[in-house]
Amino acid sequence: MSKFIFITGGVVSSVGKGLASAAIGLLLRRRGLSIAMLKFDVYINVDPSSMDTRQHGEVYVTDDGAECDLDIGHYERFAGVHLNRHANITTGRIYQSVIDRERRGDYGGGTVQVVPHITNAIKETFSRLEKPGVDVVIVELGGTVGDIEGLPFIEAFRQFSLERDIGDVMFIHLTMVPYLRTSKEIKTKPTQHSVQKLREFGIQPDMIICRSENPIPLDVKEKIAMFCNVRGDCVVDEHNVEVTVYEVPVILHSQKVDATICARLGLKGAEDADLEDWQRMLSIAQNPERQVAVAVASSHHQVPDSYKSLSEALFHGGIANRTRVVPRLVDASRLSSGHVGEDLLGVAGVIIPDGVAGDDDGIMTAIRWARERRLPLLAIGRGMELLLLEYASNVTCIPGAFHGGNSRLDEEFDPLAAVVARLDADGRPTPGKGRGRRKGLYASYLEKGSLIRSAYGGEEIIRERHRNDCEVNPELIPELVKSGLRMSGLNPDSRRIEAVELPGHPWFVGVIFRPEFTSRPIAPSPLFSSFVAALLVKGAGG
């Protein structure tokens, strides 16, 4: 039977439960253990697909097309696992499932209540991850202890721990341990209160991970252990990292976190975690040979988490080139108001990320800047759509390709006006929203002799994740090709265009898929590695 680790948080949210969960997953896997991972988000939304990324961060997509919380990206990047729609469950999905059962009459007309119906549904959700060959199921609860939305989940965890044998379940609580600069003191009281609240709900943590600005002295750890009723070696310090979040597993490993977990749960893995390649990756990241800046032109420049996977993929591409890549988030509205030369000064290249509609005019200005000045450019998802619109407007000169700051994706489809279009399941233009949205892993055929095929090491067929509903309008492809744009990637089944590039330009590529979702620190995305290499050539040549 599988063992279970439940990870909760206290004091404040967004202090790193997702990173801690991901790091623990990595350490256990590096001991030869098999893991499954799940995050519960306590909001009522059924999933993050319709949520504003400026409020919640990016929407991460798995192989099977599930739209998930960005922490699922941390899990995959650290632990090297491929997760699916069962890895991220919200309060909305839990309640929806219970209401659906009630409507079908599954409860026989009985009164439906939080206990036992909601808590049973929660237990069913994480229990289904227990399968033959899965040694450990890691379950993270979003939010903080005491949040009203999270109480049913805490209760489900408590019940489950009583239903299992002793040694099957472990509770890890992550709290903030603040440092007050005015008095030069580390304060443990917030952690004490957080653990006290958790104990009021019937859960005694087995381990406390303390998020702090600096390493926590031994006497402070001993104080936390005493007043929170945990063993001294189970109070763990997770202080701020110097260069990258990928240092977190090493910090936890140095305090024997994985060894303690294995002893507590009776796990029989390797004697120690094999982190040799991870340490090698960190050494490159901490001692880069070069540094290069890249502009990320966006309407969401204020919220870096809107592009979490993108920034990580750039970091990975930098590691592949022994280079520190410094992303510069650029406000698209400034680019459209005459600041393009100022805001793009000194960058070696430009990225146009995926994202909701914003200041398209400003983003297209950045695309034109990179095209005309021969700066390396990578346009992703909707970024590729804007690349097409800029090229169609300023090179191909298709009438009406771009008008009034918004791409012409009209409800009444006009094949002469729209360069990108909503396509049906067979790849044909369709009015309105159509049935063409693609989410998840799809194949792309890369044209022989293309730059993108070279970037992928000569691979003829690749598979990357998608999250898009608009594609290149097939009726206008001949005009675009005639004017010099190359359709270098094609879906072998639907014949949809997957990638475009500009021959004769040093590096000018647009992809409809999302390569950042499959990039890993140990296995960087080939496309991002190639892009960073192009940045270095441009940087060296001025």
For residues 405-419, one letter each, b for 16 or more C-beta atoms within 10 angstroms of the residue's C-beta and e for the rest, the string is eebbbeeebeeebbb
Tell which residue, 352, 354, 308, 326, has the closest CA to residue 519.
308
Packed helices 526-541 and 308-320: angle between N→C axes, nearest 10 degrees? 70
The backbone torsions φ and ψ at residue 242, rounded to the nearest 5 degrees and listed phi first, read -85, -40
Count of CA atoms in the C-beta half-sphere (13 A) of 256: 9
Q: Identify the CA nearest to 446 among candidates 378, 513, 508, 492.
A: 492
**To which CATH superfamily is domain 3-13+15-280 assigned?**
P-loop containing nucleotide triphosphate hydrolases (3.40.50.300)
Which pLDDT value is given to residue 462?
Answer: 97
Amino acid in position 539: G
pLDDT of residue 355: 77
**Polymer length in residues for the chain:** 542
**Sequence spans of domains, the chain:** 3-13+15-280, 289-541
- Residue 306 above 50 pLDDT? yes
Q: Which of 32-41, 291-300, 379-388, 466-475 has the highest mean pLDDT?
A: 32-41
3-13+15-280 against 289-541: fold identical: yes
pLDDT of 414: 40
Of the pLDDT bands very low, low, confident and very high (cuts 50, 70, 90), residue 494 is: confident
Residue 31's nearest CA partner among 207, 271, 230 is: 271
The matching CATH number, chosen from 3.40.190.10, 2.160.20.60, 3.40.50.880, 3.30.565.10, for 289-541 is 3.40.50.880
Q: Taking the C-alpha atoms of 444, 450, 453 and 455 in order, what is their torsion angle to the nearest 10 degrees?
A: -130
pTM of the model: 0.91
Residue 372: pLDDT above 60?
yes
Q: What confidence score (pLDDT) does residue 300 get?
A: 67
pLDDT of the residue at 53: 76
Could you say which DSSP state residue 405 is in? T
3-state DSSP: the chain helix, strand, coil percent, rounded to 5?
40, 20, 35
DSSP string covering 501-519, please? E-TTSSSEEEESS-GGGG-
What are 392-449's pLDDT values in tens digits? 989 988 766 544 333 433 434 343 344 666 665 555 555 444 345 789 999 999 999 9
